Structure 1
Amino acid sequence: MTDNIAAGSPSSDTPSPADGYVGDPEVRAEWDDRYADRHRLWSGRPNGALVAEAAGLTPGRVLDVGCGEGADAIWLARGGWDVTALDVSGVALERAAGHARDAGVAVHWVHAALTEAVLPPASFDLVSAQYPALLRTPDAAAERALLAAVAPGGVLLLVHHAGMDTQQAHDSGFDPADYVWPSMIADLLDDDWETEVDEQRPRVAPDGGAGAHHTDDLVLRVRRLR
């Protein structure tokens, strides 16, 4: 979010609202407003599915997609991971960078939409997307960007709220058909991928924060073989 983030490239410096965000400005504004409305939007603790699924993985390079206020990124960094954390909201990233400084860990922050970010292809040992709000497009750009970031031998972990994908469009304007769900990733997999987990399970939810009312997760964990 400093000068070298103008094209969505990573930086470990403190984010700045004046950076060169790459992505849809309306999406950025929507999420900035959502974060600005509350002093803390999320619980400040790592997501339970990430903790469970990453426990047996050897730390390497990880991409945290939709990192929000940074709880997952900080937990991963404390566990020895080299963390790149991406979000569309500058407000969220400023908070996340502050939390990382307080925790004494280094994180590479990227202020960009996933599909616009300049990320090294096939280079992350873990790509984690916990309840991401990824917009669906005819060319499956977000789904393909997630898969493209995973290194050979690496893992993509996508977790979402169970049942949301089958809801009807809300009067509020939320339409599940507009977003990417785990089943859409699964549909794109070929022989280069092995599915390790594809299930619905009770959610281990941190106390407090938005989304705490959801009780079950959809968990998709796939490994890139080559």
Structure 2
Amino acid sequence: MIDERFTARFWDERYSSASRIWSGDPNPQLVSEAGALDPGTALDAGCGEGGDAHWLARRGWQVTAVDVSAVALERGAAHAEPDISGRIDWQCADLTTWAPDRAYDLVNAQFMHFPRALREPLFARLADAVSPAGTLLIVGHHPSDMQTTMPRPPEPDLFFTAEEAANSLDTQRWDVITAASRPRMARDPEGREVTIHDAVLHARRRP
């Protein structure tokens, strides 16, 4: 049985519930880890409303932005400035089954929280889509966030550490640049400042 939370209908309804769900800013770990990379081709998997895709395109990347929600993709395309719109290809796909049909210099996947049975095959497909000498960047909410007042589902199977993601990579083919639990400040629904942690995997595929 398919979990409703991972379907197009669920996410289309969520995005339709407000004029904007996310801030529109790029995810901070993308800026930190990819800011010094030379632009090339990028895959933004689970792109949502396109904050990361916009940032990459502004920096000269040619971006394929993929998400299950057509509503989010339409919003992302509408918010793209005219001078970058031609550098982003918006694609609607179910990431639980979708596989890239080409390779990219950068594969970016931010905060996609699937159960392990779906997550590990997806991360393997994303790793396979990285070009030789290319970069894989996977970021998620660290499992320790469930112990904070931030609204995280009480389902440990949805969370992973950077080390767990790194351990799935073939050490003969990959160099791990970063595998860390990185703290940052956030505010919970009551407005309280909370330290949360991002699981950050940055790996480079060997030429």
**TM-score, normalised on structure 2?**
0.81
- Aligned-residue CA RMSD in angstroms? 2.9
Which sections of structure 2, spanning at least 5 residues, go unmatched?
187-192
Greater helix proportion: 2
- 1:72 matched residue in structure 2: 52
- Give % identity: 43
Give the alignment of 1:1-226 within 5 angstroms.
26=4, 27-101=7-81, 104-106=84-86, 107-121=88-102, 123-137=103-117, 140-163=120-143, 175-178=155-158, 182-190=162-170, 191-203=172-184, 215-226=196-207
Alpha-carbon deviations, 1:100-154, whole Å to 9, x = none? 2556422111100224335224x11110111113343279321211111111101
In structure 2, the CA distance between the partners of 1:111 and 1:154, relative to structure 1 (3 Å rule), is: same
Deviation at 1:223, TM superposition (A): 0.8
Please say if residues 124 and 151 of structure 1, whose CA atoms lie closer than 8 Å, have aligned partners that are also in contact.
Answer: yes
Alpha-carbon deviations, 1:169-215, whole Å to 9, x = none? xxx9752314565344212111111100011222377xxxxxx9663
Between 150-159 and 110-119, the greater mean CA deviation after superposition? 110-119
- Residue 64 of structure 2 aligns to a residue in which SS? strand
- Residue 175 of structure 2 aligns to a residue in which SS? strand
Alpha-carbon deviations, 1:68-91, whole Å to 9, x = none? 001110110010001000101111
- Residue 137 of structure 1 aligns to a residue in which SS? helix
Amino acid at match of 2:64: T
In structure 2, the CA distance between the partners of 1:101 and 1:49, relative to structure 1 (3 Å rule), is: same
Distance 1:138 1:67 in 2: 18
Query: Using CA pairs below 8 Å that are at least 6 residues apart, which structure has the higher relative contact order?
Result: 1
**TM-score, normalised on structure 1?**
0.75
Greater strand proportion: 2
Alignment size in residue pairs: 194
Please say if residues 48 and 203 of structure 1, whose CA atoms lie closer than 8 Å, have aligned partners that are also in contact.
Answer: no
In structure 2, the CA distance between the partners of 1:86 and 1:57, relative to structure 1 (3 Å rule), is: same
Distance 1:40 1:225 in 2: 39
